Homo-oligomer: A and B are copies of this chain.
């Protein structure tokens, strides 16, 4: 029997290149993974008009995890693949924990003058199935002077509680054991109240975890001025979207950022993917950095119950990055080979 069955959605542009390296590393560190490739993304959409056929969705559902490269191309109207594929997977597979760690790795540099490598190590636990992402809302009198458009943020105790619990569980396993709730309770009083009350209750069950609350505007500022202060941040879907990009920016850019859209119960597969896009400008040249894809594979290993292998992969990345000279060009396959060797 295979140690794990994963679906590989390499996707578009550099997606195929970086996923190949992530596969290399996975095979090196955990032999016996069975993988199936799925052709989804802009190329398929342009060829067939299909985004995610139900039959493919059902096949994906049979896997332990999905490894995704990057989806998207300027030729596809904005939103089609995001909503039809990425968000659909998050919702259909109940991927309620959107996990985005940010570390300022030794060997890399932050755009922030006063932050040194090694000082930032935070993880954002972003809710993935509720909030403003549900698509509720509408448009009336479209195209006229009387037009109104609404967007509704839906938040349930069920959804808020489970993601906050996950954040506390993760904090329990970390050194600093601190959870920061980010919301905008002074303006979004309805949803903010639910988040704040639920947070307070779960915090009371975790006396060994320290907690704080920040408004999203303040947190956005502090991520720029003092990113060191954060350990685990838990927040809603939209705030998480914004905060994780700021966190990525201050820790060397989305080129290094990994993410997991996780269904912690494992009733459905979780998706692991680099935060960066398909980068059509550098696609096919063999110069894309596979580090974010490899770190996503490390998250995948951890999620599937192989923490030791996950650690070896992330340590390989640490060694790789520490050894890079500033400005040194990257060769995708060489980096993958090195990381596979280091992880073994």
Contacts and interface: CB of A to CB of B under 8 A. Distances in A.
A157 interface: yes
Contact of A137 (B112, B147, B148, B190): B190
A197 interface: yes
Interface residues of A, number: 63
Given A78-B185, A150-B154, A157-B144, A242 B224 contact: no
Interface string A36-55: 00000000000000000000
A148 B154 contact: yes
Nearest to A224: B249
Given A137-B190, A150-B153, A245 B221 contact: yes
Interface string A120-142: 00000000000011010111010
A193 B184 CA distance: 24
Contact of A238 (B184, B190, B244, B248): B184
Nearest to A155: B149
A111 B225 contact: yes
Contacts of A193: 139, 149
A156 interface: yes
Identical copies of this chain, number:
2
A114 interface: yes
A250 B138 CA distance: 36
A115 B342 CA distance: 37
Contacts of A250: 224
A246 B247 CA distance: 12
Given A141-B157, A150-B155, A224-B250, 7 more contacts: A79-B185, A139-B190, A145-B158, A148-B157, A218-B245, A224-B246, A224-B249
16 contacts: A78-B186, A82-B187, A83-B186, A110-B113, A113-B113, A137-B153, A137-B190, A148-B155, A150-B190, A151-B153, A151-B190, A152-B153, A153-B153, A220-B220, A220-B249, A224-B224
